[in-house]
Structure 1
Amino acid sequence: MAQAFHNLRSSRQTQLDAKFPAHVACDWLGNSERIAALHYPQTTEEHFDRAVGRAAQQRAVRSRLLWK
C-alpha cells in the first residue's frame, strides 16, 4: 500500500511541476523542494517528445491535415 501511495504522489508532483513553480506544487502537496527532488522526479513521454521534436512535428502534420 505504501508503494502505491508513493507512486500516486510522485505522479501528481510531476504533473504539478510541469504547470506550476516547484515551491507551489510542494506547498500544495505538503513537502519540501528538497524532498520532492530526491524522491518524486519522473521522466514522462512528453519529455521524450520534446527532446526529439515530436510535438512540433505532430502539430505541423495536424495543421497540414486541417487545411487540406
Structure 2
Amino acid sequence: MQYFEVTMTHLGLTLWDKLQTRGCGANFTAQVANIVRLLLNIGAKVEQLQQKISSKCVIVGNLRVKVRK
C-alpha cells in the first residue's frame, strides 16, 4: 500500500510571504480576493481528484490518500 500526504502549509506560507512583500497597499483587498479565489479553486480541484481516484483509493483524513494496489 502506497501512502501520500498533501499539506496546505507550504501553500499558505507562500501566499503569506507574497502579501508581506507586496505590503498592504490599495490593492490589498484585491490580493486577498485572489487568494480566496485560488483556495476555492484548489478545493474544487481536490474534489475532482477525489472523484477520479475514488475507485482505486480511500480518502483518509483531510488531504490524505491511500492507494490500493
Fold match (TM-score > 0.5):
no
| TM-score when normalising by structure 1 | 0.31
Higher relative contact order (CA 8 A, sep 6+): 2
| TM-score when normalising by structure 2 | 0.30
Name the one with the larger helix percent: 1
